[in-house]
Structure 1
Amino acid sequence: MEKGRGKITVDISRPYALSAFIKGLEELIEVTYTDEEYSDIILLCIGTDRSTGDCLGPLTGHKLNLIKYENVWVYGTLEKPVHAKNLEETMNEIERKYKKPFIIAIDACLGKHERIGCISMGEGPLSPGAGVNKTLPLVGNLHIMGIVNMSGFMEYLILQNTRLNLVMKMADLISNGIHYVMWRLTAGEGNRTNQPTI
């Protein structure tokens, strides 16, 4: 796990990547989330199932949607993706439905060649669509971004030609990590009855 400038980076190919992701996410939640300040946790998984590189969000949402915790809600799945065309509408719905939501935004992004396969986490919002020159609203109290391919040229084509294997591995790690952290957050350390296997 790498730390720097308010961000935590985990390389999914390294040993104990899941443990590093969990530790990093717990640290970020500890400094950004309180029960008193927020009413619900929203896992906002952004992307489309029509592009291999951009389906990290919907795949993660699909896996997280199988898990039920009190006051934890998932938006953005393979069945109902949250993407450029409906992001603003989804944000309006969240604002209407929840009084003080704490939003964890999850999205794929493009980056340097040596960073492909890394997951970056940090405080504050992410800018969906920035990698493909789209201007969309900033979203999230906390963000998780998976670097799925290289940036710099022909971004749409690069996203279309991203290996599904890498995206699946990232979605597995992110969903398993979030599952564990949400279990700890909602059930507490004293309750071991529904402890997830990691």
Structure 2
Amino acid sequence: MSELSQLLSRLADVDTLSYRVYAHTTVPQDDVRITVAVAALVSIADSDQQDLYRRIRETLANFIKADWALSQIIRTADAMGYEHIDLSASARVPPEENYNLQERARRASREGLALTNPNADYTVRADRVSSAVQTLREQTLREVRQHIEGFNRVSERRWRLGHIAFGAESELAEAMRRTSKGAYTGGIPDYVLRSEGDTELTGAERIVLVTEVVLKAGAGE
């Protein structure tokens, strides 16, 4: 019996087909999230909050010119009539700004106001991940429609989509992060990108969407 005949024979005996579709894409980094700790020492008599924020933002601009977001300020008084001010600042900057962060933070610091522990987060922005996942969903639906046409042609039966679940759990969880959209994402090392001939990228996230698909044979088939 030929392979096609065997497939036709199996399809004739079932009314449900279940399988998984794996769709993936690569999202290049277009920015890096930089965070830095901010520590200031101010006199208890100094109640000018706006001036404090101005000095903090000036110091951050000397570090990296960006649209910095500031966390809530934590104030701790000491016995010498001063307050310790602690907060964190974060900003998304072009990848080319991600260099020599420790030294640049040290140089930007001033007397009574220090920037410490700068850190770079290479994770792609959530809105770009969401957009990529939506594209993968649409791609998966188009692929499933092609599958149905193929099964109809091979089995000479009429199949329809009975159930579809985007974001199925997978063994990929062992090596990749699971997003709120149900996809899996993970960084791609620079050397991999270079080996693929994409020398313009400084980093990227690979996004994989796993979809559970159930096809049903039409009534009376």
TM-score where L is the length of structure 1: 0.25
Task: Give 1 or 2: higher strand fraction.
Answer: 2
TM-score where L is the length of structure 2: 0.23
**Structure showing greater relative contact order (alpha-carbon pairs closer than 8 Å, 6 or more residues apart):** 2
